[in-house]
Amino acid sequence: MAEVLLFHHALGLTPGITVFADRLRAAGHTVHTPDLFEGRTFATLEEGVKHAQEIGFGEVAERGVREAEKLPAELVYAGFSLGVVSAQKLAQTRPGAKGALLYYSCVPVEEFSPSWPKGVPVQIHGADADPYFVDEGDIDAARALVAATDDAELFTYPGDQHYFADSTLPSYDEAATELLISRSLDLLKKV
């Protein structure tokens, strides 16, 4: 079974993130869910992003790195939206990475290293009409990653909601989430 380090989105460590982590745990995986916002949660994406800006996006990512340093190197790194920054950085730069699950976001690979590491499978998941995923270039970064590496998959889901896999939010899409979890578990079985 895989060991996963799962980073929350800009709303913080919401109950929906815990529910998602519990779904992976129920399949036999060990899942760590650090709280990069030190107990704070937010009702809107804008409020959460403002908080992350106040902390500093670099500091938020470094909090993720510090959490990873407490754990074995052989991890699958996963992140939702803002949490993708930490997850992707660690998957690309920390030796021993077993895989990556990037939900709602993807950073250009060159941000962290010249190329995606060989032998580290990655999945990127996002809604096909999500303005944050599509209009801000994340889908383009995901397509470039898939084109540049042999073990990368991009999965899109119908809809325009950014946080569609957080079961505690109005944006939740049960059918898309079930498919996302199934595909995520497929990657976890491979590592």
Q: How far apart are CA 161 and CA 155, in angstroms?
A: 15
Give the model confidence (pLDDT) of 87-99 as tens digits.
Answer: 999 999 999 999 9
pLDDT of residue 146: 98
The reported pLDDT for the residue numbered 118 is 95
* pLDDT tens, position by position, 23-61: 999 999 999 999 999 999 999 999 999 999 999 988 998
pLDDT (tens digit per residue) in 113-123: 999 999 999 99
Could you list the residue range(s) of the whole structural domain that residue 184 is in? 3-190
| SS3 labels along the chain | CCEEEEECECCECCHHHHHHHHHHHHCCCEEECCCCCCCCCCCCHHHHHHHHHHHCHHHHHHHHHHHHHCCCCCCEEEEECCHHHHHHHHHHHCCCCCEEEEECCCCCHHHCCCCCCCCCCEEEEEECCCHHHHCCCHHHHHHHHHHHCCCEEEEEECCCCCCCCCCCCCCCCHHHHHHHHHHHHHHHHHC
Q: Give the span between the Cα atoms of 155 and 97, in whole angstroms.
A: 21
How does the average pLDDT of the chain come out, rounded?
Answer: 96
Q: How many domains does the chain have?
A: 1
pLDDT tens digit sequence for 105-147: 999 999 999 999 999 999 999 999 999 999 999 999 999 999 9
pLDDT of residue 53: 94
Residues 73, 105, 27, CA angle at the centre, nearest 5°?
Answer: 55
The predicted structure's pLDDT at residue 87? 97
Which CATH number does the domain housing residue 76 bear?
3.40.50.1820
| Confidence (pLDDT) at 130 | 98
Question: How much is the pLDDT for 139?
Answer: 98
> pTM of the prediction?
0.96
Contact between residue 134 and residue 111 where contact means Cβ atoms under 8 Å apart: no
Q: What is the pLDDT of residue 136?
A: 96
DSSP H helices in 8-130: 15-26, 45-55, 57-69, 83-93
In this prediction, residue 43 carries a pLDDT of 93
Whole-number percent of the chain with pLDDT over 90: 98
pLDDT score of 179: 98
